[in-house]
């Protein structure tokens, strides 16, 4: 019962966090700002002084490929962002060879084109599968703002609609299709202010989330140990 309650609290915190991020990256920090119709139904209203820009004018695709495949393999997930593959908790099969893989430098954006449609900024130099895309921001854009914008439910759904392929598991969002879409684009100073606000406001929420995750993990382990002890007879279970 306690574990179910903690799991509900965790879901609620994550939902509140995502809602707060979505609100500020699409509407800004001033609740009294004058709004205008973006002209795109799925985007709706945006602050009057903001722009819509095609993503091709904001991001540049990088296509540097590895000749040796000896660079550090990197893994991208929603929970961890981009980390070295060796640090990944739940490993799937690693590529047999990274020759021809995409080179990634610290500060660049990595995009999983497939079903997850994940964007993240790399804190490492390394290499990713050729199925991923690597981008850098043009100078008028904050990569941290764009990653947060593209991670909202609104943009994830838009990316899914734009993706092509057979079935959800095999559909992918190609760069040309991504670049044809529009991004909500505040002035650079506001992009940075929004990122700072999110990092400040979410730091406490992230601490609570980490505490709940640790407690849930402990309760799961305790439950498993208790079941094992009962099965092996180390705990005397009396019939009533």
Confidence class of residue 99 from pLDDT cuts 50, 70 and 90? confident
Structure tokens at 86: 């060796």
User: What pTM was computed for the model?
Assistant: 0.78
In sequence order, which residues have a C-beta less than 8 Å from that of residue 165 and are 6 or more positions away? 171, 172
Best CA proximity match to 22, nearest among 53, 51, 43: 43
Q: Are strands 126-128 and 132-137 parallel, antiparallel or unpaired?
A: unpaired
Q: At the fourth CATH level, which superfamily is domain 51-185?
A: DNA methylase specificity domains (3.90.220.20)
Query: How many residues does this entry show for the chain?
Result: 240
Report CA-CA distances (Å) from 212 to 10, 49, 127, 191: 6, 40, 33, 31
Q: Report the C-alpha gap between 122 and 129 in whole angstroms.
A: 14
pLDDT tens digit sequence for 106-133: 999 999 888 668 899 999 999 998 889 9
Per-residue pLDDT tens digits for 169-228: 568 899 999 999 999 999 999 999 999 999 887 767 666 666 656 766 766 676 677 677
**Rounded to 5 degrees, what are φ and ψ at 223?**
-60, -45
Domain boundaries defined on the chain: 1-50+187-240, 51-185
Is 183:158 a contact under the CB 8 Å cutoff? no
- Phi, psi for 221 (deg, rounded to 5): -65, -40
pLDDT tens digits, one per residue of 158-168: 999 998 765 55
CATH architecture of 1-50+187-240: Orthogonal Bundle (1.10)
């Amino acid at each position: 019962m306690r574990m179910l309650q903690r799991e509900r609290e965790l879901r609620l915190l994550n939902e509140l966090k995502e809602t707060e991020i979505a609100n500020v990256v699409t509407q800004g920090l001033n609740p009294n700002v004058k709004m205008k119709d973006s002209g795109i139904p799925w985007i709706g209203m945006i602050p009057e002084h903001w722009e819509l820009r095609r993503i091709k004018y904001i991001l540049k695709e990088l296509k540097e490929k590895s000749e040796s495949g000896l660079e550090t393999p990197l893994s991208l997930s929603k929970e961890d962002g981009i980390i070295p593959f060796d640090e990944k908790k739940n490993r799937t099969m690693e590529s047999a060879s990274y020759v021809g893989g995409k080179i990634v430098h610290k500060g660049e954006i990595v995009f999983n084109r497939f079903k997850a449609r994940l964007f993240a900024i790399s804190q490492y130099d390394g290499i990713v599968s050729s199925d991923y895309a690597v981008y850098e921001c043009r100078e008028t854009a904050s990569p941290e703002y764009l990653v947060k914008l593209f991670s909202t439910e609104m943009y994830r759904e838009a990316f899914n609609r734009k993706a092509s392929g057979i079935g959800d598991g095999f559909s992918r969002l190609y760069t040309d299709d991504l670049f044809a879409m529009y991004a909500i684009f505040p002035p650079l100073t506001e992009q940075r202010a929004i990122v700072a606000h999110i990092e400040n406001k979410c730091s406490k929420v992230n601490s609570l989330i980490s505490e709940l995750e640790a407690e849930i993990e402990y309760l799961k382990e305790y439950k498993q140990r208790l079941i094992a002890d009962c099965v092996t007879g180390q705990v005397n279970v009396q019939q009533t």
